[in-house]
Chains A and B, each alone.
Chain A
């Protein structure tokens, strides 16, 4: 099993780190200013989309999920998110339909 230490990358990861950092800061600014626009129901969707993008950037690049040699870590992340969504979605199955009952 080959190692996956990032020091063996052919190019320095520094450029990636700084690019991600800038992207995260821009995303934060974007979230802040987008909240001041009236997008109706899309305000939440935009905010969450930006947040999820930022979270993905941190996970993939800062937490080195992208370079991981095994898929196992990605399976852990995906499964966890799946179960969290399960909690939210199935609870909403109750809360979302109570008014119909």
Chain B
């Protein structure tokens, strides 16, 4: 006989899945599961950070020169945009916890707007790189002088490695943003449908965890990619 009836005297929330004994167990499991998934994502990006670390050590001047050619102001703006989106996420969850439906929906929409803004700015950056022929491949062309090294020019192959890492790292990050937007579209729909209550808003919590993680990755990407040797 499945425990589809009352559990421990509480009335049974339809969101409680049959294999869990209590809602708390279900929520804790979902939370824990998402944290472990984020651990896998740390290792996933970690491989790229490892490659970056090694080549930055090997080709510092070439990397620094290449880094100067990407727009730090846009990168910084994007960092601020994501930070604001993380705030709107926690506010959305707080709104769910305190039964503020309007605020919850507004914060979810704002989060998605910030996310879309991020992607828009990223699009501008990629476009600039494409136009300047800084995209690795057959049309790659980068011959900037190395700052503070008069007469020396960057090694284009080493610069290409920088840009390869730039595109793979920010591209993978942007892909995660897109997935995040998809998740929040669903969360918005579910919130609109009234699925979230102060007692049950686990999908918001774990969707939020994912979003914050994507923010944290960018917090590291920004200084590492955009700010190498900017004082020259």
> Which positions in A face B, CB cutoff 8 Å?
1, 3, 5-7, 13-14, 17-18, 21, 24-25, 28-29, 31-32, 35-39, 43, 47-48, 50-51, 54-55, 58-59, 62-63, 72-73, 76-77, 79-81, 83-84, 87-88, 91-92, 95
The answer to whether A47 touches B24 (Cβ under 8 A) is no
- Provide the residues of chain B in CB contact with A29, threshold 8 Å: 76
Report the minimum CB–CB distance from A13 to chain B (whole Å).
6
- 11 chain-A/chain-B pairs, Cβ below 8 angstroms: A17-B94, A28-B76, A28-B83, A35-B227, A47-B227, A51-B222, A62-B89, A63-B212, A76-B36, A88-B50, A88-B53
Q: Would you list which residues of chain B between 29 and 57 have a CB under 8 Å from chain A?
A: 31-32, 35-36, 39, 42-43, 46-47, 49-50, 53-54, 57
Task: Kindly state the separation between the CA atoms of A1 and B21 in the bound complex, as whole angstroms.
Answer: 14
Complex contact A81–B42 (CB within 8 A): yes
Q: A32-B227, A73-B32, A76-B35 known; A95 and B209 CB under 8 Å?
A: no
Given A84-B42, A88-B53, A91-B54, A25:B223 Cβ within 8 A: no
Q: Is the CB of B216 within 8 A of A31?
A: no
Known A-B contacts A37-B231, A76-B35, A80-B42; the reply to A17 vs B90 at CB < 8 A is yes
Q: Report how many residues on chain B are interfacial, defined by Cβ distance under 8 Å.
A: 48
